[in-house]
Structure 1
Amino acid sequence: MNDPSVAALHLALDVHGRDVHSLRAAISAAEQAGFALATFSDGPLAQGVPEAGTRAAFVSRLTDRIGLAPTLHATVTEPFHLATQLAALDHASHGRAGWIVGAANGVDERATIGAAPLTPEQLREELADVTAVARALWDSWEDDAVIKDAATGRYLDPDKVHHIDFVGESFTVKGPLITPRPLQGQIVVLAPDALELDELADVVLIERADAAAIGERARAAKEAGAPLAFAEVSFGFAEPDAVAKLVDLLRSLAAVVDGVRLRPADPATDVPVLIEQVLPVLAAEGLLRPAPRPGDTLRATLGLPRPANRFAREGAVQR
């Protein structure tokens, strides 16, 4: 059992399974091992496999505890469709959806939507706008908007469904969303630290050379408003002392971040070693958070509050 006075880590695993059978096996192993979150990497040029959001949706009905966070790229996806897909994933998973903000911006990647790469300034603005719009759209239905009043034949209360009327530099969104508010209220947003979205993220993903540098960036992220900071840890066990080195690294990270996202070099061989040889050592030392419980939302697993709806909070009536 974890001592709450001891620093301990939430665990996320980047799941590489892409065909139905390997994906099912990978997500089952991660959930049984007590990971808080599974992430699904993707890019707009991937071919021959379902995109990350579809893979997450597939496993949403095969799991009941682990969070599911696909990478969806804000630079090549319509903001309204992105917000809708993630809201639908949250409903399908009973409140376990996350979103890793993707920022694909290469020539070939942007060509998939017939656009040129964004400048650094344009990229920052686009990412901030898409994230802010997604959050506004998730609030566009109040929690009690759906009334299902058979006597009057009314499905929803129109005074509790709102336009967001967003106008940005490159797009506008009127809203509301076509999907009721996510069960979590807001999807858990995970943003790589290089994107500089700390104030809009629930979790900042930090990739640095050592624990000290990661800890320094984690402090900056929290000062900017991010509730949680996770370290990005790539690992493999090709070297004889790799298990001991990973254990030592995770021990040091437990003192400076809230969690880690583990990215295996070879999932087929590395994940079993991680689960069988690394995690038991950390658990025995009280360095791991408790495994998610069936029925918990991802926000509950991560200790994040369920946000109040902005329109209900402000008493707004906008249709």
Structure 2
Amino acid sequence: MTLLLALELGDADEETARAAEAAGFALVTLGDSPGGPGIEAGVRAAHLARRTSRIGLAPTLHVTTTEPFHLATQLASLDHASLGRAAWVVGADNTPAALATVGGVPLSDDELRREIADVITVARQLWDSWEDDAVIREVATGRFLDADRVHHVNFTGARFTVTGPLITPRPPQGHPVVLGADTLGVTELLDIALIAATDLDELVERTARARAHGVPLVFADLDFAVFESWRDRLDGVVDGVRLNAAGPTTQPPPGGSTLREALGLPRPANQFAGAR
């Protein structure tokens, strides 16, 4: 089995992203810190959307400091701009400095876990709030969309409510790919669990636990040197590896016209279709 590869760009530039694309990486992730220096990860991903052609783009957006509706809209827009290559690394910075940027205070562990789950859940509902065939563009009648195929989500979470619908049509992938650390406590809501383990036995154990929670894919989160030493033993353990620095590795690029196709993930069915 050929391992899927991802690269954490941090503040790296367009040249690094294009080099990763040429080397056969499936996606790049873009780190971010609320209130930190530099350009926000979602904006950087949008910049790369038209400067790359195949590689997936996964900005880190923090559920603790980003309004859920705006978060879902930003990711849907990125998926449209990149023609189906958007993903989301679920961030959950809960430090006093991060929360101070939005006038908040840190959450308890239980509150944080609920907030993460609520934001992922409502984002998926908002991406489904437009059915795939909602945009009809009927010249004869002057109708751009079929209003019966656009839905309110009416979501009530622990700390917010969202009525919806989204202000953009459904993303090309249905849902952008959702990645997050297995330590967030919401593994069952992810498409890819990221596991940063200190030894191979720990990686095997945590991977088995993540798969038991139903996550479709598991990526190890490794330094390049560790990846090189473990490479031959990762086959059959994880589906891919996210590297925090590039190294001299290339492989055939994964196929498919969208990131979901490249990763072998199905396009989600719309949960509101047929509800009218």
TM-score, normalization: structure 2?
Answer: 0.97
The one of 304, 307, 311 equivalent to 2:265 is 304
How many angstroms apart in 1 are the aligned matches of 2:261 and 2:204?
Answer: 24
What SS does the aligned partner of 2:179 have? strand
The aligned counterpart of 1:16 is 10
How many angstroms apart in 1 are the aligned matches of 2:194 and 2:227?
Answer: 18
Say if 1:190 and 1:202, in contact at 8 Å, map to a contact too. yes
The one of 222, 233, 242 equivalent to 1:252 is 233
What SS does the aligned partner of 1:310 have? coil
1:257-268 to 2 correspondence within 5 Å?
257-264=238-245
The aligned counterpart of 1:292 is 254
For 1:291, the aligned partner's letter is P
What SS does the aligned partner of 2:54 have? coil
Say if 2:63 and 2:92, in contact at 8 Å, map to a contact too. yes
**What are the superposed Cα offsets for residues 68-121 of structure 1, whole Å, 9 maximum, x if unpaired?**
000000111000000000000000000000000000100111011101100000
The aligned counterpart of 2:124 is 135
What SS does the aligned partner of 2:10 have? coil
Say if 2:69 and 2:162, in contact at 8 Å, map to a contact too. yes
**Does residue 32 of the first structure (1) align with residue 22 of the second (2)?**
yes
1:217-236 to 2 correspondence within 5 Å?
217-235=206-224
How many angstroms apart in 1 are the aligned matches of 2:96 and 2:229?
Answer: 40
How many angstroms apart in 2 are the aligned matches of 1:182 and 1:36?
Answer: 19
Say if 1:192 and 1:204, in contact at 8 Å, map to a contact too. yes
Give 1:17 deviation, angstroms: 3.9
The one of 138, 142, 148 equivalent to 2:137 is 148
Give 1:306 deviation, angstroms: 0.6
1:1-319 to 2 correspondence within 5 Å?
7-18=1-12, 23-47=13-37, 49-235=38-224, 242=225, 246-264=227-245, 271=246, 274-275=247-248, 279=249, 290-293=252-255, 296-312=257-273, 315-317=274-276
The runs of at least 4 aligned residues of structure 1 exceeding 4 Å deviation read none
Give 1:220 deviation, angstroms: 1.3
Change in 2 beyond 3 A, CA 1:164/1:137: same
For 1:174, the aligned partner's letter is T
- In terms of Rg, which structure is larger? 1
How many angstroms apart in 2 are the aligned matches of 1:93 and 1:197?
Answer: 27
| Larger fraction in helix | 1
Q: What runs of 5+ residues in structure 1 fail to find an aligned partner?
A: 1-6, 236-241, 265-270, 284-289
Say if 1:211 and 1:256, in contact at 8 Å, map to a contact too. no
Say if 1:233 and 1:261, in contact at 8 Å, map to a contact too. yes
What SS does the aligned partner of 1:13 have? strand
TM-score, normalization: structure 1?
Answer: 0.84
Give 1:254 deviation, angstroms: 2.3
How many angstroms apart in 2 are the aligned matches of 1:17 and 1:80?
Answer: 26
Say if 1:17 and 1:26, in contact at 8 Å, map to a contact too. no
Give 1:62 deviation, angstroms: 0.8
